[in-house]
A and B are shown apart, each in its own frame.
Chain A
Amino acid sequence: MADKYNYTIMKKESLADSIYLMDIKAPRVSRHCYPGQFIIVKMDEKGERIPLTICDYDREAGTVTIVFQAIGSSTKRMAEYEAGDAFEDFTGPLGRRSELIDMPRGELKKKRILYVAGGVGTAPVYPQVKWLKQNGYEADCIIGARNKDFVILEDRIKEQVKDLYLCTDDGSYGFHGNVCDCIRDLIENKGKHYDIIVAIGPMIMMKFVCILTKELGIKTIVSMNPVMVDGTGMCGACRLTIGGKIKFACVDGPEFDGHLVNFDEAMKRSQMYKSQEGRAMLRETEGDTHHHPGCECHES
């Protein structure tokens, strides 16, 4: 799989069971990307275009970091690649950069920000808190996971934030409960105040965080990950209903005002290819009819 392709894997790391981090050599993307944006990777001629959020970048080394969870046939195939191998295509940066980056500095200074990361969604939170820290701001962060084994990037995020909170569904690490319980606990029992919450994780988690923050009256930004094909605005596969209007996540997002997102529709749409994909898996792994219903991580 190596040589003949351009986008070399410089480093591969296993962060948790079936969650991998890779640094990819892609100078054009690295030079122009910002937190909040994503890339599309296509492994080889027969591969599909897989959207993944940018988790870090090193403009000097010309690399971009991605973190992915091997859940379906494509991401499982990708997990078989090792450092030194290369991908055929790696496009980006796609989507808009995080809204906070473009906020006037004086205004940003006044905001008390809480990041809420769910499962593999912890990875895209990292470049955002890192950017904030580099620019002299500090946010708080909650990392939520199903259990201790699925908490990723804890040390790296800790260095970039003021207060880091952990919570697990089974109580095996940190606060016992889901991220919503944890947010409520911080606000109601720990005397915390927030002006903006940025929630990134499984759609179901983002939905419930938004229901809660609406009740609490806190502006909430979410990062949507609907099914995509081109990622440039050409196919409309990624369309969402935001405040009653059709928006394309790949060009108008992926970040949106969480209180305007129609999550129920988005969740139905994201299931569209699952049964299809189940069949592809069946072909490959004879007899194994099992297919993961969605994300392995924390479902609040």
Chain B
Amino acid sequence: MDVLKKVPVKEQNPKVRATNFDEVCYGYNFDEAKQEASRCLQCKNPKCVAGCPVSINIPGFIKEIGNGNMEAAFQEISKYSALPAVCGRVCPQETQCEQRCIRGIKGEPVSIGKLERFAADWARENKIEPKKPHATNGRKVAVIGAGPSGLTCAGDLAKLGYEVTIFEALHEPGGVLVYGIPEFRLPKNTVVKAEIENVKALGVKIETNVIIGKSITIDELIEEEGFEAVFIGSGAGLPKFMGIPGENANGVFSANEYLTRSNLMKAFDDSYDTPIIAGRKVAVVGGGNVAMDAARTALRLGADVTIVYRRSEAELPARAEEVHHAKEEGIKLQTLTNPKEILVNENGWVCGMRCVKMELGEPDETGRKKPIEKKGSEFVLEADTVIMALGTSPNPLISSTTKGLDTNKYRCIIADEENGQTTKMGVFAGGDAVTGSATVILAMGAGKAAAKGIDQYLQNNE
């Protein structure tokens, strides 16, 4: 074994997986996990922990895996995270825990994500549940949204003895984990459902089909239903469009619509009623995780897919692993390209996309080189379907129906990073609703911080 390298992980063959929705990565087995765990140096001052937004005791759980004590490893992780099987799969480890790992200075970092995933998968397969809290204290807290931030906040509050109810607008809990991130990256029935069941096992109630701001308002939850505090984890679900001609043509979708049809509504499975227009030649506009997921979904539905991104490959904001997988599967990258117009045929359907080539200029305020149009470089990209993956912003439904809840100019709810406190007494917020679209683990970190904040607030308000 080469200690400078990660123990390789088995994956589905790219040619085969391009035609199915089964999980791409198989994860480690018992022996591989033990072997990878042995690469951890058990640092006295573990830099990796500082890279994890929820500060998981990484050397602690890895040590247990090394000893073959998988249950102890899982319980150690569970102290910090309610969704380890999810995070092990979808965290951008290369910019978080693994980026700081000492092993990474000379060689590859420890495969922390894959080990975390292994411990969580092992626990699920062996029916191990996280430790249950003791008695409840009878005080009610409402959580809005069953995404990573809401689930984490609810789980932590339940552990502290609160009676927590999550109100979720959709018919299924999970947020982006169920409607956005595809099955082949994050299996819904096995992984996501099981981790949500673990949160419920802590005593958290989840009421689906309730849209706060429509079915009931925050003020009514407090005044009529007896909730003493509220956490808003409603995410950033509102899709953006470019505002170019032809964008309302038949065959143009937001990535959210395309992914929701395929993931939440299971349109990829013929036995479900919801239809999806897969497309034959699909152009996906954008370069983040959302773009990769939409592209790889379209590929699996049988399309020929090109990703159109205005900067260069080095700037792609998606997780490195996803870009690598997408390319392996045969997705084309058309970088330094920007759409100008979607061409529409006489029946109102997409028949191509007029694009312009870009080049990178001076760095802009975000520090990234600004793409500028190359004069006279316009061309038409063949396409019958266009998927817009340009990012999302928070839905104003809650902020517009709650008096005293302030938002910033991006419509994000203003909340204290330390404890989630918003401008309205007793109301806390975190996750994408506060930061704009970010990551699962940052949303979880915010949910944790708010749980602490709510506990403190309620203790001061006996």
Contact = CB atoms under 8 A, between A and B. Distances in A.
A280 B273 CA distance: 8
A90 B211 CA distance: 11
B237 interface: yes
B397 A232 contact: yes
B169 A46 contact: no
Contact of A234 (B210, B215, B238, B347): B238
Contact of B248 (A89, A90, A230, A241): A241
Contacts of A77: 273
B395 A276 contact: no
Interface string A46-61: 1111000000000000
Given A49-B265, A92-B214, A276-B275, A236 B348 contact: no
A234 B397 contact: no
B interface bracket (residues with beta carbon within 8 Å of A): 35 or more
Contacts of A48: 265, 272-275
B211 A91 contact: yes
Contacts of B238: 233-234
Contact of A29 (B208, B215, B257, B260): B215
Nearest to A73: B273
Interface string A172-213: 000000000000000000000000000000000000000000
B395 A90 contact: no
Contacts of A46: 266, 271-273
A239 interface: yes
Contacts of B256: 234-236
Given A241-B248, A273-B275, A91 B171 contact: yes
A271 B248 CA distance: 13
B185 interface: no
Contact of B214 (A32, A234, A276): A32
A258 B252 CA distance: 24
Interface residues of A, number: 42
Interface in B390-409: 395, 397
Decide if the interface of chain A is mainly helix, strand, loop or mixed: mixed
A269 interface: yes
Contacts of B211: 91-92, 94, 232
B67 interface: no
From B257, B260, B271, B277, residue with most partner A Cβ within 10 Å? B257
B209 A273 contact: no
Contacts of A241: 248
Nearest to B207: A28
Contacts of A47: 273
Contacts of B250: 268-269, 271-272
B171 A42 contact: yes
Contacts of B330: none
B215 A32 contact: yes
Given A32-B215, A92-B214, A94-B211, A232 B395 contact: yes
Contacts of B251: 272
Interface string A219-239: 000000000011011111101
Interface in A9-47: 28-29, 31-32, 42, 46-47
Contacts of B260: 229-230, 234-235
B319 interface: no
Interface of B: 169-171, 179, 208-211, 214-216, 237-239, 241, 243, 247-248, 250-251, 253-254, 256-257, 260-261, 265-266, 270-277, 347-348, 395, 397
Per CB-CB distance, the 7 closest pairs between chain A and chain B, nearest first, are: A268-B348, A235-B257, A236-B254, A234-B237, A276-B275, A89-B171, A48-B274
Interface of A: 28-29, 31-32, 42, 46-49, 73-74, 77, 88-94, 229-230, 232-237, 239-241, 246, 251, 265, 268-269, 271-273, 276-277, 280, 283
25 contacts: A28-B215, A31-B216, A49-B274, A73-B273, A89-B171, A91-B171, A91-B209, A92-B211, A229-B260, A233-B397, A234-B179, A234-B238, A234-B260, A235-B257, A235-B260, A237-B254, A239-B241, A246-B243, A251-B395, A251-B397, A268-B250, A269-B248, A271-B250, A276-B275, A276-B276
